[in-house]
Amino acid sequence: MLSFGEALAYATKQAMEHDARVFAYGEGINDPGGFFGSTAGLKEAFSEARCFDVPNSEDALMGFGIGASLMGYRPLFVNLRVEFLMLAMNQLVNHAARLPAMSGYQYTIPLTVRAIVGKSWGQAAQHSSALHSMFANIPDLQVVVPSSVEDAPRLLLASILSDAPTVFIEIKSLYDCKALVHLPIEPLPLGKAHVVRQGSDITCVAISDMVGFAQRVSEQLVADGIEAEVLDLRSLAPLDSAAILNSVSKTKRLAVFDIGWEPFGLAAEVARIVSTSAYHRLDAPLLSIARRHEHTPASCFLEEQHYANEEHAANSIRALVRG
């Protein structure tokens, strides 16, 4: 049994053992806690030459990773929070994402950037944003959103092995989970969604910890004779549009479970995919399940109201299916 953090640490260690070009760096990466356990033991195994702490300067750190990538290395930049990437957007968007295309793809940027969404433990507005939709809008920038202990190390290893710059977005709530992880880690192909629950009445497209949320909601619906299919996208860029359409062609109904805000979010992109397909039509309006469009409050009581509620989601699906 491994925790979410331990599984990520194992995947990182495996990548570093198999390829001397892989190294890890980040703010507080070698602290005793090892970034919630996800980098624990790396410094001891590979020395500070390949796992080292750095000053707080996200723009410079991203540029360092880009430069190392151009020199043939495979850097893993462990960035504490998604919001901190705002301080490095010029490097990430204008350089990491665009240099390959601007060079006629003569250069690659095999840089993986880990960032965490501080959901559900009083992290407030500046430590709990989910900005995946913004990153996924950038061409040639991969965005990975693991939903489980089993998938996270396999997706991280795939990200490290990829030649494209990748933003690997974790969510703090998953760090409390443990599961059996098959060793050694086998990478999962990016851009391949996974049906985690079969169903025939409605398709539930979900990412990150909203996959587990959708599964729990689906179990509540069984007593009502409603069988929901839950689709874990695993990554947003590349996005498995075919898996979405295949499921919708069977269920004719669709709900989207997002960890971010609703406007301009995942539901909008899924709606675009389905509505622009000449062969798929819904029998009911699309249902969007997401957090409130407001800055995350610090109060645990207000925070609970900020995020989606399972009972409300289940009732919304019942109303949608029953017409």
**What CATH code is carried by the domain that includes residue 90?**
3.40.50.970
CA distance 64 to 159: 18
> Is-catalytic flag, 127?
yes
260 and 118 within one domain: no
The most confident of the ranges 13-17, 123-127, 276-280 is 13-17
pLDDT tens-digit map of 248-298: 999 999 999 999 999 999 999 999 999 999 777 899 999 999 999 999 888
Domain boundary pick from 153, 179, 205: 179
* One domain for residues 22 and 157: yes
Q: What is the pTM of this model?
A: 0.96
Residue 20: CB partners within 8 Å, gap ≥ 6?
Answer: none
Cβ contact 193:240 at 8 Å: yes
Does residue 260 lie in a domain region?
Answer: yes
Residues 63 and 86 reside in one and the same domain: yes
Q: Are residues 163 and 204 in the same domain?
A: no
Closest CA to 143 of 171, 173, 112, 118: 112
Q: Judge if 7 and 98 occupy the same domain.
A: yes
**Shared domain check, 284 and 255:** yes
Least confident of 42-46, 72-76, 89-93, 303-307: 303-307
**Are 141 and 110 a contacting pair, CB within 8 Å?**
no
Q: What is the mean pLDDT of residues 203-216?
A: 98
Let me know: does 128 contact 117? Beta carbons within 8 Å.
yes
Kindly state whether residue 188 falls inside one of the protein's structural domains: no
On whether residue 95 sits in a domain, the answer given is: yes
Q: How many domains in the chain?
A: 2
Confidence of residue 312 (pLDDT cuts 50, 70, 90): very high
168 plus 223 within the same structural domain: no
> Between vectors from CA 211 to CA 207 and to CA 216, what angle results, nearest 5°?
155
Domain extent for 244: 194-322
Q: List pLDDT tens digits, range 53-92.
A: 999 999 999 999 999 999 999 999 999 899 999 999 999 9
300 domain-assigned: yes
Residue 185 counted as domain residue: no
The pLDDT, as a whole number, for residue 122 is 67
Chosen domain end from 148, 179, 210:
179
Domain boundary among 149, 179, 209: 179
Residue type, 91: Q
Catalytic residue among 95, 127, 132, 194: 127
